[in-house]
Amino acid sequence: MDQTNDSALRGALTEIFMAAVKSADPHEALIGALPEKPRGRCVVVGAGKASGAMAAALEDAWPDVDMQGVVVTRYGHAVLTQKIRIVEAAHPVSDAMSEVASMLMMEQVKGLREEDCVIALISGGGSSLLALPRQGITLADKQAVNKALLKSGATIHEMNTVRKQLSDIKGGRLALAARPARVVTLIISDVPGDDPQSIASGPTVADSSTPDQALEIVRRYGITLPEHIIKVLETPRLPVTASDIEQDIRTIATPSGALAAAASVASKMGFTPLILGDAIEGESAQLGIVMAGIAKSVKQHGVPVKGPAVLLSGGETTVTIGASGAGRGGRNTEFLLSLACALKGEPGIYAIAGDTDGIDGTEDAAGAIVTPDTLIRAEYPAREMLAAHDSYSYFAASGDLVLTGPTLTNVNDIRAIIVL
């Protein structure tokens, strides 16, 4: 490829990003991970942005199996299925359909026998899409807690620790309700470290989190909760342990696999890929500054890799919203705007960052692209827009948004920085 052509480099970044997305295609990933076909009933449950596509893939793979069930996905992510019902609900804050879907799933797994099999199709976003509040709290209470967590800067692991302690379906409780049936969990991971307890808050996975941990997180981030919610968190209940449920957990697509696919494509283009990690967390804007420093080091000193190179990373950063509120944008466009500000138009450095589900935060873009002239072309002051958490508006004005639509999978964020 022509490494001096701006249009070609934009195309290369997009191709690298989409290679990561395609590596987690549910139809490809699910086929080789299926268990033996069940002797008894086959009940399908699931939650996440990829759950609809996973359900369709399961039906295609097992056309001769008499199955039934319910999965929940985000609005706009449903696909056509014949046997498995797909419910759409809100993300990132649950709505009434999240509660309806949860109740339907719990009903589906009642009265099963040992020879029956439950297939759980789990992917990122499922924690918000499932909502079954514990006794003593309401859906409105859970929505308020979730909104506070999203603004706080808490990591996904921390948010899900709190969510599980307020739920009657998360933290293994869906699997507990399915006993004595066998439960096989197929996971597309979107969390740093691929911990199945954290992906969709582990509705079919034994839980090691505790009420004390949830309360500590709430206090550490300065989240003020009503007394009745605190009382629920302080009310002891037995956790779901590995001895309580029969666990068969199969992770079928991961951020590390997505980065490997991106690296393979980059290498074929003539770039030296360097994967910096698949579980990078922290504030999006701060990561932008750090990555700019690494990219400059590659450009100026050939360290830690000689150019032309591609720096690849994944994970899930956070954006802490202060009392002043925020404009439009997600963690990827915030990262990119910070990166652009730190690079200050450094020639020969191009970048893309996006959420592999096609939706960065709550916007319609997966992410955006940064080029050496990003700060020159835009009509808005970059640092002011960054301070206002309005990165989407900035890149929309410059024409640099990456619009993929819902990809029907989710292996977290992918960042690629080309250094010539």
Q: pLDDT (tens digit, 0 to 9) for every residue of the chain, 420 residues total? A: 666 688 999 999 999 999 999 999 999 999 999 999 999 999 999 999 999 999 999 999 999 999 999 999 999 999 999 999 999 999 999 999 999 999 999 999 999 999 999 999 999 999 999 999 999 999 999 999 999 999 898 999 999 999 999 999 999 999 999 999 999 999 999 988 899 999 999 999 999 999 999 999 999 999 999 999 999 999 989 999 999 998 899 999 999 999 999 999 999 999 999 999 999 999 999 999 999 999 999 999 999 999 999 999 999 999 998 777 788 999 999 999 999 999 999 999 999 999 999 999 888 999 999 999 999 988 889 999 999 999 999 999 999 999 999 999 999 999 999 999
The pLDDT value given to residue 2: 65
Shortest CA distance to 209 belongs to which of 162, 267, 264, 254? 162
Where do the structural domains in the chain lie, given as residue ranges?
6-22+256-419, 26-253
* Structure confidence by residue, pLDDT tens digits, 342-354: 999 999 999 999 9
Choices 3.20.20.80, 3.40.109.10, 1.10.4190.10, 3.40.1480.10: CATH for 6-22+256-419: 3.40.1480.10
Task: Give the residue carrying structure tokens 């808005």.
Answer: 380
Q: What share of the chain is helix, strand, coil (3-state, %, to 5)?
A: 40, 20, 40
Q: Is the peptide bond before 308 cis (omega within 30 degrees of 0)?
A: yes
CATH class given for the domain over 26-253: alpha beta
Sign of CA dihedral 134, 138, 142, 148: negative
User: Would you state the structure tokens that stand for residue 235, as one six-digit string?
Assistant: 């009310």
127: enclosing H helix or E strand? helix 126-129
The pLDDT value given to residue 1: 63
Q: How far is CA 338 from CA 342, 370, 377, in A?
A: 6, 10, 16
- What CA–CA distance (Å, rounded) separates 78 from 409? 12
Neighbouring residues of 289: CB distance < 8 A, sequence distance ≥ 6: 338, 339, 342
- What CA–CA distance (Å, rounded) separates 79 from 70? 13
8 A C-beta contact, residue 209 and residue 161: yes
The pLDDT value given to residue 322: 76
User: Which residues are paired to 275 by β-bridges?
Assistant: 312
Q: How far is CA 79 from the centre of its chain?
A: 19
HEC sequence for 225-256? CCHHHHHHHHCCCCCCCCCCCCEEEEEEECHH
User: Would you state the structure tokens that stand for residue 264, as one six-digit string?
Assistant: 């393979």
Neighbouring residues of 111: CB distance < 8 A, sequence distance ≥ 6: none
The pLDDT value given to residue 80: 96
Name the 3-class secondary structure at 405: coil
User: Would you state the structure tokens that stand for residue 10, as one six-digit string?
Assistant: 């934009």
8 A C-beta contact, residue 375 and residue 338: no
30: enclosing H helix or E strand? helix 26-31
* DSSP tag of 200: G
Neighbouring residues of 333: CB distance < 8 A, sequence distance ≥ 6: 353, 360, 361, 363, 365, 367, 368, 391, 392, 394, 395, 401
8 A C-beta contact, residue 87 and residue 51: no
The pLDDT value given to residue 327: 85
The per-residue DSSP string of 321-375 comes to --TT---S--HHHHHHHHHHHHHTT-TTEEEEEEETTS-STTSS-SEEEE-TTHH
